[in-house]
Amino acid sequence: MLGRIKFTGKIHSINRISNELLKTDMFAGNCLVKEKIRCNDVLLLTIETDYEINTTYLVSLSDKYKVDIEYSLSDHINNIKHTGVIVFENNKAEILEHRTDIYEC
């Protein structure tokens, strides 16, 4: 599966994520980071993994670093796409949207 994860927040939060979580080319234990793009208050990761993204882990990251997270992960073998948005608002993170869609080629 291939996908993208976008972190949006204050510059110091993006710096912390970059420094603490991305010291290697692995993210979340099972995601190979193929590309990192950083611009001020945004960090975009292109990842490759064999597993669906762990939304509970993303919520805990949003809560810890006080960032919003958008993600999209596509399984081209089984024609499944996972997308979602996690927001940090009122001092807590919550899943605003999570969808799993099956598409036909």
∠ CA 44-47-49, rounded to 5°: 155
Please check the confidence at residue 62 and state whether its pLDDT lies above 90: yes
b (16+ CB within 10 A) / e for 45-64: bebebeeebeeeebbebbee
- Which pLDDT value is given to residue 16? 92
- Which pLDDT value is given to residue 105? 67
- Mean pLDDT computed over every residue of the chain: 92
Please check the confidence at residue 104 and state whether its pLDDT lies above 90: no
Q: What is the pLDDT of residues 26-61, one digit of tens each?
A: 887 788 999 999 998 999 999 999 888 888 999 999
- Which pLDDT value is given to residue 21? 83
